[in-house]
């Protein structure tokens, strides 16, 4: 039985949007043995939804949602449904926020078509190191897996197209070292007084460039796209284990438990038929752990 509770932000007969918690993987994998969003969704709908009898009996309902120009190049709606089990897209394990799930084969291929035709808009909140020079901008740099580390992605001329628009919401010039010391460092059971003193001495140098809270609007959906694009500008995400410097991310993790990236909203057309008509915007508030991290910025 699935052990974690998931908050549903929006739901109708064909889809739902959840607030994905940080720390959960979206899709099942042979190398991953913990609970996933996919496990939760199968339990939420019920195993019967993923049987041939259900698919056939409900065909009259969901078939109306299949786009007119749908082709079976990647499988029939039934095959795609059984393969993806409602997973329309994904978020990184440590990323929280809006995740869109389909409740039947027709809604799934409808929403996948909207993604392909760039009809779905997502916005993220990211807290980055450094202060952006411009209030708005666009990063257009192709991405591919890094040659020396298959877990990393990097900008590559031979990679897939990747584009991220961004808007700076707030620049932060100072870090609250007093609160950090009194409420976080002194309560850390692992760090010795000597280590704490060293952190307070070295920390200001690591944070001398300040921070920026940024709204990111990815125009493509590459893995780690926002994280790599901002790191390429020398503005890595706060507490990013992969794309931030080792010393800096170790300090970040003392007051921010994960990389600071939250899927704040998603906008899409409600799949009520093969022709898209009504636009739906779903917003997901910033999580308490990230709000707590921001309280140390001035």
Q: Which residue has the tokens 């031979």?
A: 158
pLDDT tens digits, one per residue of 27-39? 987 676 789 999 9
Q: Which residue has the tokens 């339990």?
A: 43
Residue of 15, 180, 11, 39 lying closest to 112 (CA atoms): 15
Q: What is the pTM of this model?
A: 0.93
Q: What is the mean pLDDT of residues 2-28?
A: 91
Of all residues in the chain, what percent carry a pLDDT higher than 70? 98
Residue of 249, 189, 178, 237 lying closest to 213 (CA atoms): 237
Residue 144 pLDDT exceeds 80? yes
Confidence of residue 1 (pLDDT cuts 50, 70, 90): low
Residue 72 pLDDT exceeds 80? yes
Q: Cβ-count burial of 219 within 10 angstroms (0-12 exposed, 13-18 middle, 19+ buried)?
A: middle
């Amino acid at each position: 039985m699935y052990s974690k509770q998931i908050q549903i932000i929006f739901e109708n007969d064909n889809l739902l949007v959840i607030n994905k918690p940080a720390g959960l993987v979206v899709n099942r994998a042979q190398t991953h043995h913990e609970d996933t969003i996919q496990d939760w969704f199968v339990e939420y709908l019920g195993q019967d939804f993923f049987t041939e009898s259900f698919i056939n009996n409900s065909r009259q309902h969901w078939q109306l949602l299949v786009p007119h120009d749908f082709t079976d190049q990647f499988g029939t709606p039934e095959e795609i449904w059984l393969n993806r089990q409602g997973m329309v897209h994904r978020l990184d394990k440590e990323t929280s926020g809006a995740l869109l799930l389909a409740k039947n084969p027709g809604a799934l291929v409808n929403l996948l078509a909207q993604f392909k035709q760039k009809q779905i808009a997502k916005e993220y909140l990211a807290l980055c190191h450094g202060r952006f020079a411009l209030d708005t901008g666009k990063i257009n740099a192709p991405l591919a897996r890094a040659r020396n580390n298959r877990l990393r992605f990097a900008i590559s001329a031979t990679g897939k197209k990747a584009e991220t628009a961004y808007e700076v919401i707030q620049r932060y010039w100072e870090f609250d070292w007093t609160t950090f010391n009194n409420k976080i460092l002194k309560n850390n059971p692992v760090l010795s007084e000597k280590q704490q003193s060293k952190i307070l001495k070295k920390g200001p140098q690591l944070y001398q460039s300040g921070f920026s809270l940024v709204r990111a609007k990815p125009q493509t959906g590459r893995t780690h796209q926002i994280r790599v694009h901002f790191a390429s500008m020398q503005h890595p995400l706060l507490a990013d284990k992969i794309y931030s410097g080792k010393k800096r991310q170790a300090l970040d993790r003392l007051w921010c438990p994960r990389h600071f990236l939250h899927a704040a909203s998603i906008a899409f057309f409600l799949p009520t038929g093969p022709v898209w008509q009504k636009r739906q915007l779903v917003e997901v508030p910033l999580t308490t752990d990230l709000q707590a991290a921001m309280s140390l910025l001035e």
